[in-house]
Every structure is written in C-alpha cells, then in structure tokens.
Structure 1
Amino acid sequence: MSKITERNGRLVFDFNFQNQRCRELTKLESTPANKKRAESILKKIDAEITLETFDYKKYFPKSKMADKLEAKSLQLAKKSSNEIPTFKEFSEQWIFEMSPSWRRTYVGTVNGNFYKYLIPEFGDMHLDQIAKTDVLMYRNKLTQMPNKSGVPLAAATINKNITLMKSIMTEAAERFNFKFNLTSVKPLKGVKPDIQPLSLSDITKFLEIVRPDFKDYFITRFFTGMRSGEVNGLQWKHIDFENRQIIVEQALGVYGVGDPKNEHAFREIHMCDLVYEALLNHKKTMKKFDDFVFCTSIDTPISNTNIHNRIWLPTLKLLGYSPRRLYQTRHTAASLWLASGESPEWIARQLGHSTTEMLFRIYSRYVPNALRTDGQAFNKLIEANIKNSLGEGK
C-alpha cells in the first residue's frame, strides 16, 4: 500500500511499481504542510501506475531504482521480441482455433473487424507490449472514425471491436504469462434502436402499391417478424403448410447460408391466414420447390440491399412516409402482436427471443397507438368496480 513515511526527519515515498517495492527519500522536512503536499503527489503517482502511464524518472530523475527498472524493462522487451509473438501472429492462430465453434457468418464478421480495425493498430506489437492504456486510446480513436456513410462509428461497432480485443488479449496473457486486464472497461452506451413500425393502415397502403411480384414477400415479412436473413434464406422444405408453420433453421448472410443468429432463433413461426394464403399463392408462381422461397428470376438468393434500395425505400417514398430500415417489418410484427393482446411469451417465441424483456423495453410504447384505446381497459375496470359503488353511496 502506498504511503508517506519518515527517515531522519525527511519524507519518504513508499509505493509498489512493477511488482517491486520502491522507496524514495526526499529533501522535504517532515512537516504537516510538506506531508500534505507529498501525499497529493503520491496520489498522482498511484493514478498513473494504475493507468500504466507512470514515468519513474519524471518524478525521481536521479534515482538508482529508476535505472534498475529501466534496465529490467529493456531486458523484458528483448525477451518479448524473442519469445512472445506479435498481436497479428497470435490472433490469426486464435481465430483459426475458435472458428469451429462459431457460426460461419460470425467468422466472417470477426475477420472483417479484425483486419479492418485491430490489425492496422496492433498488428506488429508484441502481445506483452500492449497496455490497457493502448486499448483505451484506440477506443477513443474509434469514436472519431467515420463509417461508410461518413458518420461516426456506432457504439455497438466499437464495443464489438474492444470485446474482440479483450478476448484475444485475455487468452494471450494466460498462455504467455503476462498481465493484462480489461475487466474494468465498460462498454460505451449506444443510441437506442430507431423503432418505426408501420400501422395496419400503413401496411394496407404499402401492399396496395408495392410491386406485385413482391407483395407475398412483404406480407411474409410484416406478419411473421422474421429477420432479413431468415426470410431471404427461407426454403420450401422449411414450410409446413399442414401445420401452418415456418421452421426457422437457417439464415442467408453475406457469406452464404448459415445458422440463425443464436440458439433461440431456431424456432417454429405460426402462419396467420394472410401469410398462409400469401405463401400458397406464391408457390403457384414457382417453377421448382427444392430451393429458396423468395429468389431471383435465375433461382439465386435475393439481395437484401437490392430489396431495400429498389423496392422498400421507393414504395415508402411514393406513400410519403419517412425512410427507414427494412428491418422495421420485424418491429411492425412485434408491435401488432402486442397490440392484439397475444401472450408476450408466445410473441417472444415467434421472434426468437429468450425472454419477454425486450418486448416491453422496445415495443410497448407503440401498443396504445396501434389500438387507439389508451387506458380504456383500465377505465372500464374502474367504472365496473369502483365508480358505480361510489355513486351508489351518495
């Protein structure tokens, strides 16, 4: 524990640095004023040691301990360059080892973030030379880095990169026996999701003017709550018309067809009458039924980007609606199910959520607007059980 002690009437700084006890005798006489001043300096030293920015010679330029620690650091650096690999060397090996346990789409995401963000910054550094402050400084750098649209990177993107960095460095520290700890680094707080579900009247108008060959596709999206990859990767073998179910067991991503987002995404979705009839109608237009339900004219998977840019946004614009992500079809389904009074547990299963928490946190504010009966159920309860009784007592 750091403290200010006294020797021969002079104050002494007593602290730990690089697993070594350090004691530095000063010329300050042991007076209350000098002790208070020394304690203030010691607090600053402790803070810099914690942040790994402490420069021993800056505070004690003539110290023999400073020379000893500097020589030790040079020796460790030399040893590091001979025995401990660079961040790039180890990370590539680690990703290769971990890949079998990841979804193929996730492997692509990890590799994308790894080579785009982490390698340019840390690739040539030896693992034990990377400090906590290096990671924090890099995180700050990411907050000012623009994405493809020219706006700053989202907090979620930055957090994913720091989490990946944390996983790699934690494993490296364990294997090569050096200290590294990012557990105290909390994720950045992001902006809440932009939820803009369509109302039933909005959906009706949309389906009336959307391109006819995409009407069944959008009915499926609006009333099943499927994710983009799930509906675009849907195959006829996954539709059970007899039991009116859509079996979600794969999704189409940038790197092809793979598993859904997570274990809860594997599920059976109930088809309402409208979806059931839309898919039956769509099936009549198909030439073969051993591949994707929604595909191009040459039977290849459809592109979500093309649908978003060439069908979704132009239709919204024609209706005079504000532009929004195609993912809003999923939010629309969730808000409509809640508004209709369906069981939250059933809705969570339909959406592939593990709990109902997200339903109430994200969608609940849209339920009254969907039915236009804000507080009416509560009013009826009061009228039936309290208001009438109070009236009778007068």
Structure 2
Amino acid sequence: MDSKLTGIKANNSSISISFTYNNVRCRETVKIKPTKSSLKEMDRKRDAILYEIEFGKFDYLKHFPNSKKAQQLAGTQANNMTIKEMINDWFKRTQDQWEYSTKRGYISKITHHIEPNFGHVCVSEFKPSLFKDWAATSTLSGKSKNEVRSILRSAFQELYIDEVIDGNPIDRVKRFKHIQADPQPFNNEEREKILAQMTGQVRNLYEFAFWTGLRTSELLALKKCDIDLERNVIFVRKALVHGREKGTKTSSSARTHQLHETALKALKAQLLLLSNDHERIFLNPKNSLPWRDDRDIYHNCWVPSLKKSGVKYRTQYNTRHSYASNMLTQNKPIAWIAKQLGHSDATTTLRKYARWIPENY
C-alpha cells in the first residue's frame, strides 16, 4: 500500500520516511502497521524532522536511536557543532537542577573562561591538549580549573551518551591539585581589637560569629524560629547566598549548635534591638533590612573594622577558624567540635585544626 504523502512510503508492516540531512539521502523504516492515522503521524514526524534540519536542531539519534545511518552521521554532527553551542545546549537542559548560586558560578565560568578560549572550536576538533595548554597559562586556582573542567566534562558526556562522539576528551585530563590555604585564626587579643571597632548590631553579629564558628551565609540566614533559648541552642538549617535562601553547604552542615555563653549574650543583646516584625536575626543597621549576602557585610563592616584595629588582614571566614582553635585549646572533645561546626566527621576537623590540639589532650 503506497502513500500519497511526500517522502512517506507504506510497506506491508512498516512505514519508511525519506529526507536529506547534511547532503546525504536518508531513509528510515518505522515498524508500524500502515493505516490512515499512522501514515498521517509519520508525515507529521517527517515535517518535524525537516523543520529541525532547517534550523540546525536535528538530532538523528534522538529520532532513530537504533539507526546505523544515524551512528554514521553522528560524527558529522560533531563537525558542525562548536563548543559554545554544545555548552549552551547542555546549560539549557540542566540548569533547572541547580541551586541559584551554582548557576551563577557556572555562568561565570562559561562566560569568562570556556567561551573565550574554546567556544569557537568544533566539538570534533577539541583535544585534551587544548585544555592542558590553557590551564598551563591560566592564573586560576586549581579549584577553579577543576570547575571549568567539570562543566566541559558534563557537556561532552551528554554527546558521548548520545553517540555523537566516541569518547569524552576531558576524561584524559587529570584533575588539578587544589592546595587549600591553612586556617589563620585570630588570637584572643586580635579578636578583642577587632570587636572594639564595632558597635550595636555589627558587634553582636561578629561576636556571635567568633563564638559559634558559623559560616557568614549561615549567620545571615538565621531566624527567630531557629532559636531555642530554653535549651541554649540554635538550629542551623539555611544559608543566604546572593540574596537567596538555600540549604546548608552539606547535609552534615544542617545541625543543632550549642551556644557558648558569650555567643548567647551577643544573641540576647541582638534580640533586644529587633522589633516584632523582624524575622531575621542580623540586620543592616543602616536600613533595618536583612543583609543581602556575605560580600555585603564583608565590604561594609568587616574590612573597615579590621583596618581600624591594626590587626593583620584575614578574611571574615577566619572567625570560624578562631572558634574551632579556641574550642580545641579548651580541651573540648573533637567529635563535639566537629558537630558544632557541621563537619561530616571528626576526620575533617582533625585535618584542618590538629595543630591546635594541646599536648595534654
């Protein structure tokens, strides 16, 4: 039974679809009984294929996953696709899976490093040596290079799974060593010099930071409902990043934290400054609104106070290190400190802070 539809031919128990792709005449057979409705369905499928071919969106293997012709022409698809196009397609398909802060980080890596250096290269022409040459001259840290590598690897992996390419070229690039900076905690004298430059809500926040070891993003996300003054604990469940609330850094970071008496004092002093309509604990004293993120408070409060104090510059993250080292010198149990900090186990705590363990521990 022959069909009168263009490019569609009916056989006894199947229907064939004909079209031209990359100057190659293609014919694919679909095992479906030719009926009036099935012929119309195949005609619509052919129209969709022609539309995708016209606008460069045709994925042969997606339409005909078992086709030998599709596998033969997959290499042609790789020849016609640039790294920029590959990354953009991958980003559109996967962006809904990420946290907002993760998406921002990926956009930055793609815009500033992947597109300028590799965007013009065809997928079929990308070699591991291209990435290695870039990494050898890049001033990025090992961690950032690994993040760029991870993005490229994920995008290439989709093409590999779809059999557009024979292998993932990034798999032949080793991860880069990331040398983490040693903690530089503030001693008691330095801590008091810094706090002496602060007043009101800002002092309450940083005194609380020094005596809890919370990450700044966790501090800024803290709400009244996260406090239990009867038990002298707080519940760390959220973080504030780029003005948006998200989950904690890791699952172990979600924790119940026992408050040191100094942290409790700072917290109570802060609560007295809040009105009933304020849910967040720490606010910008200039406008009584929640801080947007850690960069906001860093530039407006931390840096000016540190300069005035005369203390050697370190980032505000070292308030966390100060708490950990302080608790260790007080002979607090390592497992307890790990839980207070939100570490997955005491091994992480030991790796970072072993030098502050007293000899008589």
TM-score (norm 1): 0.66
Distance in 2 (alpha carbons) for counterparts of 1:99 and 1:335: 39
Deviates more, 1:296-305 or 1:356-365: 296-305
Give me the identity figure in percent. Answer: 24
> What residue identity is the alignment partner of 1:206?
I
> What residue identity is the alignment partner of 1:364?
A
Question: 1:180 maps to what in 2?
Answer: 168
Question: 2:229 maps to what in 1?
Answer: 241
| Matched positions, count | 287
Say if 2:128 and 2:172, in contact at 8 Å, map to a contact too.
no
* Alpha-carbon offset, residue 165 of structure 1: 1.6
Distance in 1 (alpha carbons) for counterparts of 2:110 and 2:239: 23
Say if 1:226 and 1:351, in contact at 8 Å, map to a contact too.
yes
Say if 1:211 and 1:311, in contact at 8 Å, map to a contact too.
no
Distance in 2 (alpha carbons) for counterparts of 1:187 and 1:282: 45
> What residue identity is the alignment partner of 2:316?
L
Task: Tell me the alpha carbon deviations over residues 7-51 of structure 1, each in whole angstroms, 9 at most, x when there is no partner.
Answer: xxxxxxxxxxxxxxxxxxxxxxxxxxxxxxxxxxxxxxxxxxxxx
> What residue identity is the alignment partner of 2:299?
N
| Aligned pair partner of 1:252 in 232, 240, 253 | 240
Say if 2:222 and 2:238, in contact at 8 Å, map to a contact too.
yes
> What residue identity is the alignment partner of 1:197?
P
Question: 1:11 maps to what in 2?
Answer: none
Q: What SS does the corresponding residue of 2:351 show, helix, strand or coil? A: helix
> What residue identity is the alignment partner of 1:216?
N
Task: Tell me the alpha carbon deviations over residues 211-254 of structure 1, each in whole angstroms, 9 at most, x when there is no partner.
Answer: 33312101111111111111122222222223222222221112
Say if 1:225 and 1:330, in contact at 8 Å, map to a contact too.
yes
| Aligned pair partner of 1:205 in 193, 199, 202 | 193
* Alpha-carbon offset, residue 195 of structure 1: 1.7
| Aligned pair partner of 1:97 in 82, 93, 96 | 93
Q: Which runs of 4+ in 1 moved over 3 A?
A: 75-78, 181-184
Question: 1:291 maps to what in 2?
Answer: 279
Question: 1:224 maps to what in 2?
Answer: 212
Distance in 2 (alpha carbons) for counterparts of 1:312 and 1:174: 48
Question: 1:110 maps to what in 2?
Answer: 106
Question: 1:357 maps to what in 2?
Answer: 347
> What residue identity is the alignment partner of 1:234?
L
Distance in 2 (alpha carbons) for counterparts of 1:138 and 1:367: 42
Q: Which has the larger radius of gyration?
A: 1
Deviates more, 1:107-116 or 1:359-368: 359-368
Distance in 1 (alpha carbons) for counterparts of 2:95 and 2:75: 32
Q: 1:78 to 1:318 in 2, by over 3 A?
A: closer
Matches within 5 A, 1:315-354: 315-354=305-344
Question: 1:131 maps to what in 2?
Answer: 127
| 2:257 counterpart of 1:269 | yes
Distance in 2 (alpha carbons) for counterparts of 1:139 and 1:171: 23
Q: What SS does the corresponding residue of 1:225 show, helix, strand or coil? A: coil
Q: 1:356 to 1:260 in 2, by over 3 A?
A: same
Say if 2:220 and 2:240, in contact at 8 Å, map to a contact too.
yes
> What residue identity is the alignment partner of 2:281?
V
Structure of greater relative contact order (alpha carbons < 8 Å, 6+ residues apart): 2
Q: 1:177 to 1:303 in 2, by over 3 A?
A: closer
Q: What SS does the corresponding residue of 1:195 show, helix, strand or coil? A: coil
Say if 1:313 and 1:324, in contact at 8 Å, map to a contact too.
no
Q: What SS does the corresponding residue of 1:125 show, helix, strand or coil? A: coil
Question: 1:171 maps to what in 2?
Answer: 158
5+ long unaligned stretches in structure 1:
1-74, 143-151, 369-374, 379-394
Task: Tell me the alpha carbon deviations over residues 38-91 of structure 1, each in whole angstroms, 9 at most, x when there is no partner.
Answer: xxxxxxxxxxxxxxxxxxxxxxxxxxxxxxxxxxxxx98982367x63323332
Q: 1:287 to 1:127 in 2, by over 3 A?
A: same
Say if 1:128 and 1:178, in contact at 8 Å, map to a contact too.
no
Question: 1:86 maps to what in 2?
Answer: 82
* Alpha-carbon offset, residue 258 of structure 1: 1.7
TM-score (norm 2): 0.71
* Alpha-carbon offset, residue 303 of structure 1: 4.6
Distance in 2 (alpha carbons) for counterparts of 1:274 and 1:250: 23
Question: 1:158 maps to what in 2?
Answer: 145
Q: Which has the higher helix share?
A: 1
Q: What SS does the corresponding residue of 2:320 show, helix, strand or coil? A: helix
Say if 1:87 and 1:125, in contact at 8 Å, map to a contact too.
yes
Q: What SS does the corresponding residue of 1:110 show, helix, strand or coil? A: helix
Q: What SS does the corresponding residue of 1:182 show, helix, strand or coil? A: helix
* Alpha-carbon offset, residue 167 of structure 1: 2.2
Deviates more, 1:99-108 or 1:276-285: 99-108
Q: 1:245 to 1:98 in 2, by over 3 A?
A: farther
Root mean square deviation of aligned Cα: 2.6
Distance in 2 (alpha carbons) for counterparts of 1:89 and 1:243: 55
Distance in 2 (alpha carbons) for counterparts of 1:240 and 1:319: 34
* Alpha-carbon offset, residue 112 of structure 1: 1.7
